[in-house]
Structure 1
Amino acid sequence: NGSGDIFLAFATGNHLPAAATEPFPVQQVPNPQMDLFFEATAEAVEESILNAMAMAETMTGFQGRTVHAIPLDALQEIAERSW
């Protein structure tokens, strides 16, 4: 759709046989190891949002609607109050 969004999806489940009649092995990653992955993902998302906000430029689009860039000093002030 031209939005420029990129995303990645993954599944943590095991492939299950459709009609298993006997026990079968499964693999798991311990939760503490997944915590680091989730933390890194959250940090990457936060960084990408801040980068997009900081690098945005004022633009006029469909039906003459103008969206103004956020001044960097205002963004920094908001960030300092929030974190």
Structure 2
Amino acid sequence: DYVPHEILDPVFTAVVESVDEAVINALVAAEDMTGRDGHFVSAIDHAKLKEVMASYAM
């Protein structure tokens, strides 16, 4: 027995959309942080992120 592709396609689409949303949420929720040995990473500028996403019609 097998599951036809037309049944699985919506499932794969939902997975892709969920991963996209999770990545965007992680980018927006991120804060500045200092890691090991004093390595500093700035959070993403929300205005710049919005600009980039708009250029890709997201």
Do both share a fold (TM > 0.5)? yes
Q: Which has the higher contact order (CA 8 A, sep 6+)?
A: 2
The residue aligned with 1:41 is: 15
Aligned pairs (5 A) from 1:5-16? none
Distance of 1:57 and 1:34 partners within structure 2: 37
CA distance in 1, matches of 2:12, 2:44: 29
Backbone CA RMSD of aligned residues: 0.7
Segments ≥4 residues shifted beyond 6 Å: none
Structure 1: which amino acid aligns with 2:41? V
Residue 60 (structure 1) shift: 0.3
Q: Which residue number in structure 1 is paired with residue 51 of structure 2?
A: 77
Count of equivalent residues: 57
The residue that corresponds to 2:29 in the other structure is 55
Task: Please report the TM-score for the alignment, with normalisation by the length of structure 1.
Answer: 0.66
Please state how far the C-alpha of 1:69 moved relative to its aligned partner.
0.3
The SS at the match of 1:32 is helix
Q: Which structure 2 segments of 5+ residues have no match?
A: none
Identical counterparts, % of pairs: 37
